[in-house]
């Protein structure tokens, strides 16, 4: 019989090569998917991974959007990776992203038409607080009742989506919007618009914050006692208890950090590309960030590369939809394949197939 046996010493180089293998397998099987849909697979793969950089017509625009889309993915995935390293599975970053946009946007709307350099930082703090408080719901239920944080955080995503719809048709609706379900625009107002740092790459202030968070997360995880406690809890919960680490503290801290960063990302999306709260406020970042976190090996710097790669699939996916008529769902499946193949290849890094004759 074929059986999986744990390897005594999994190869460390292979752990870093597997994301590359996962991407190559995704390109191969994604191409088969595109061919089944009646689309030229080579042209589709070229549009996704090559044309956003080098196409003479829309290459410059695609490059300007690369970090705009990568920023929130990097910010959310960095927060998620901290919890995942501790074995705390926050799957509801999407809801925390939405709540951060709502709370931060509500502060900006409450201060309208006030202006000043202090408005945007205050909105950012409110956005982080909104995401933090939303993440504290599964944290408290986990600590008090041992509720499964995966299910609770995931279900809260749908609550957040409905709360957003209620806000943009109620208290946060634009009084001059002719009844449309949307808030006032944050675009064009200096005090509520993210300043652009480098236009050719779309590097606004939120992207800079994301890179600073990446560095801070690396220092915390590799050089700080809290990072050691988080990793120890994930690798050996029993040993962590013997070392005096309180599981409830780790749950609260990791969920709180990931929620705050997701909420901050939501606020940056609102005051940057989105410009206003609507029922179609950009969603999907929270779920895609899970793929980014694992593709980046739960390492902050790996997450930067994975975030840029995933942003590339967003931009390239839009190009395939425009030029080849590719359905948006196919691009979502293509992105999901990366996580699937990463997990599949990981199995063979940590385990080996052996043939054992069954003894009767």
Using alpha carbons only, give the angle 166, 171, 176 rounded to the nearest 5 degrees.
Answer: 110
212 in any annotated domain: yes
The Cα–Cα gap between 186 and 161 comes to 20
Q: What is the pLDDT of residue 97?
A: 97
Predicted pLDDT of residue 358? 62
Q: What is the DSSP track for 237-262? A: HHHHHHTT--HHHHHHHHHHHHHHHH
Cis peptide before 21 (omega within 30 of 0): no
What is the pLDDT at residue 105? Answer: 96
What pLDDT shows up at residue 360?
59
pLDDT confidence of residue 4? 80
For 241, the token pair is 């208890």
Q: Tell me the residue range of the domain where 129 lies.
A: 63-295
Flag whether 6 is in a domain: no
Is 3 domain-assigned?
no
User: Token pair for residue 197?
Assistant: 């740092």
Q: How many domains does the chain have?
A: 1
Read off the pTM. Answer: 0.93
For the chain, which residues score pLDDT lower than 70?
A: 59, 357-360
Among 140, 310, 299, CA closest to 214: 299
DSSP label of 351 = E
For position 15, what pLDDT does the model report? Answer: 81
Query: Is 300 among the domain residues?
Result: no
Cross-strand bridge partners of residue 355: 2
pLDDT in tens, 179-221: 899 999 998 778 889 988 877 777 889 999 999 999 999 999 9
Domain presence at residue 331: no
The answer as to whether 13 is a domain residue is no
Contact between 294 and 108 under an 8 Å Cβ cutoff? The reply is no
242 lies in some domain? yes
Task: List the alpha helices (DSSP H) in the chain.
Answer: 12-36, 41-49, 51-54, 59-85, 93-111, 119-145, 149-168, 205-223, 225-235, 237-242, 247-269, 285-295, 300-324, 328-350
Where do we find the tokens 């041992």? 146
Inside any domain, residue 237: yes
Q: Whole-angstrom Cα distance, residue 207 to residue 44?
A: 28
pLDDT in tens, 104-119: 999 999 998 888 889 9
Tokens of 276: 């206003």
């Amino acid at each position: 019989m074929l059986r999986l046996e744990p390897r005594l010493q999994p190869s460390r180089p292979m752990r870093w090569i597997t994301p590359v293998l996962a991407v190559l397998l995704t390109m191969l099987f994604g191409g088969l998917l595109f061919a089944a849909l009646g689309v030229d697979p080579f042209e589709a793969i070229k549009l996704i991974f090559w044309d956003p950089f080098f196409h003479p017509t829309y290459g410059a625009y695609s490059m300007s959007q690369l970090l705009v889309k990568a920023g929130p993915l990097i910010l959310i995935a960095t927060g998620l990776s901290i919890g995942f390293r501790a074995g705390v599975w926050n799957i509801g970053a999407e809801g925390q992203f939405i709540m951060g946009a709502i709370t931060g946007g509500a502060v900006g709307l409450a201060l309208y038409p006030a202006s000043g350099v202090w408005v945007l930082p205050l909105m950012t703090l409110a956005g982080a607080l909104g995401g933090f408080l939303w993440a504290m719901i599964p944290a408290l239920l986990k600590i008090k009742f041992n509720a499964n944080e995966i299910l609770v955080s995931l279900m809260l995503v749908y609550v957040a989506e409905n709360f957003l719809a209620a806000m943009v048709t109620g208290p946060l609706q634009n009084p001059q919007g002719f009844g449309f379900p949307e808030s006032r625009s944050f675009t064009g107002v200096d005090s509520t618009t993210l300043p652009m740092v480098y236009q050719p790459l779309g590097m606004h202030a939120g992207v800079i914050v994301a890179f600073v968070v990446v560095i801070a997360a690396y220092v915390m995880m590799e050089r700080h006692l809290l990072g050691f406690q988080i990793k120890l809890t994930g690798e050996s919960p029993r040993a962590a208890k013997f070392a005096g680490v309180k599981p409830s503290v780790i749950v609260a801290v990791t969920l709180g950090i990931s929620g705050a960063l997701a909420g901050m990302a939501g606020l940056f999306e609102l005051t940057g590309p989105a410009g206003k709260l609507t029922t179609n406020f950009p969603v999907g970042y929270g779920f895609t960030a899970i793929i980014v976190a694992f593709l980046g090996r739960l390492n902050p710097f790996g997450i930067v590369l994975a975030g840029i790669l995933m942003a590339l699939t967003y931009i390239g996916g839009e190009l395939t939809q425009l030029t080849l008529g590719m359905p948006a769902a196919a691009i979502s499946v293509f992105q999901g394949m990366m996580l699937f193949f990463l997990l599949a290849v990981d199995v063979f890094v940590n385990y080996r197939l052996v043939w054992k004759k069954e003894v009767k």
